[in-house]
Amino acid sequence: MANPYAEAGVDTAAGDLAVELMKTAVAATHSASVLGGVGGFAGLFDVSFLRDFSRPLLATSTDGVGTKVAIAQAIDKHDTIGQDLVGMVVDDIVVVGARPLFMTDYIACGRVVPGRIADIVAGIARGCSATGTSLVGGETAEHPGLLGPDDYDVAGAAVGVVEADLALGPQLVQDGDAVIAIASSGLHSNGYSLVRHVLAARGVGYTDHSDDLGGTVGEVLLEPTRLYTAPLLDLLGDPVFAGTVHALSHVTGGGIAANLARVLPRGAWAEVDRTTWAPLPVFRVLADMGDMGVESTEGTWNLGVGMIAVVARSAAPQIVAALGASGLAAWQVGEVSTAEHDLAGFEQGAKGVDGGGVRLVGRYAD
């Protein structure tokens, strides 16, 4: 007998096969707190350990990967997008000092290709394992007629926890605090609409080789988002640095100034010194292709800074060294001031946050 749902374009058997292919990767992220296996209607996570907290605060975040997925689709490479998703979601949680507990994902596609879905989820699972996050559930939905057969989009959400008196944020930031930049791995998962516009205008294809970029264009652009959660949690948990990290900012959409401004208290300001670093080659190459100055992209791309820490000035050198020892290149780019100052020309808060003021000064190093 014909299957009307299959005739409408939805292949439930392919969906079941995709689940079978991803089960091992997902199960590898599970801690003893995860109850049940893959395929339940809801994921269960034992939080009885929260009884040991004085005042546990749950932190939650949700995000996607944006139009970076178009490049993965164009070159048929899907095993890194999952790490991008984890980075965009989980690294927002560590910003408030929280430890991620669990995550769920959602994949919408025009047609379920089991191997492709398994590759995406395997990347999510690797990212979850690297950040100590349990992948407790997800959904893959076929949307024939709405999405093309090879189109898909991914999104996710995660939950973490932090002791209330250890939560980071603007309330801890003080006059004279050091602003420390932590290196990105590349574009991460923001500003790809501009990237795609630049390449299209130049007639550059994702399968083209670029000597300037040092490889195939699409593969270079799919460099996975760096994951900061584990080394930052190690730093926050080190008694040597207790109380010295006051705020963290994840540099995503909006760039360095806007995201740093979000974690400064109202009335505080900072100037970020461009001379302290050279933007990664990918940013310079793309800016040149688009006949743009690198500075004109500061509100779109991270330009080599993926996370920022605002820390006690006295601890800054030791924190830079500790981050370097954990594999994260870091350097001081400025300091916070609460002195009265004309903030004309400063980025002041963002995304509904009435925060401090930030501007970038100087010329980037070569």
What confidence score (pLDDT) does residue 30 get? 80
Instruction: Indicate if the pLDDT at residue 37 is higher than 90.
Output: no
CATH of 9-166, one of 1.10.8.60, 3.40.50.720, 3.30.1330.10, 3.40.50.12280: 3.30.1330.10
Q: Can you read off the two tokens belonging to residue 22?
A: 């991803």
Q: Which helix (H) or strand (E) holds 227?
A: none
**Residue 294 near residue 279 (C-beta atoms within 8 A):** yes
Residue 94's φ and ψ, nearest 5 degrees, are -70, -20
**pTM given for the model:** 0.92
Of residues 41 and 333, more confidence is placed in: 333
What confidence score (pLDDT) does residue 27 get? 77
Share of the chain above pLDDT 70, in %: 93
Supply angle C-alpha 346, 268, 178, rounded to 5.
100
Q: pLDDT tens digits, residue range 242-277?
A: 999 999 999 998 999 999 999 999 999 999 999 999
From 274, 94, 304, 90, select the one nearest 183 (Cα to Cα). 304
CATH 3.30.1330.10 boundaries in the chain:
9-166
CA–CA dist 14, 122 (Å, integer): 17
Of residues 193 and 29, more confidence is placed in: 193
Output the average pLDDT for the chain.
Answer: 92
**Residue 221 near residue 74 (C-beta atoms within 8 A):** no
What confidence score (pLDDT) does residue 11 get? 55
Instruction: Indicate if the pLDDT at residue 28 is higher than 80.
Output: no
- CATH superfamily membership of 170-361: PurM-like C-terminal domain (3.90.650.10)
Mean per-residue pLDDT for 172-184?
Answer: 98
Mean per-residue pLDDT for 279-300?
Answer: 96
Confidence tier at 86 by pLDDT (50, 70, 90): very high
What confidence score (pLDDT) does residue 248 get? 98
Q: pLDDT tens digits, residue range 38-64?
A: 667 888 899 999 999 999 999 999 999
What confidence score (pLDDT) does residue 18 get? 62
CATH 3.90.650.10 boundaries in the chain:
170-361
What confidence score (pLDDT) does residue 277 get? 98
Confidence tier at 306 by pLDDT (50, 70, 90): very high
Of residues 300 and 137, more confidence is placed in: 300
Q: How many residues does the chain have?
A: 366
Mean per-residue pLDDT for 202-211?
Answer: 95
Instruction: Indicate if the pLDDT at residue 231 is higher than 70.
Output: yes
What confidence score (pLDDT) does residue 41 get? 82
Q: Which helix (H) or strand (E) holds 103?
A: strand 99-109
> Alpha helix (H) ranges present in the chain?
4-7, 12-27, 68-75, 81-93, 114-131, 192-202, 217-221, 229-237, 255-261, 281-289, 316-325
CA–CA dist 215, 201 (Å, integer): 20
Cβ-based neighbours of 206, under 8 Å, separated by 6 or more? 71, 74, 75, 199, 216, 217, 218, 221
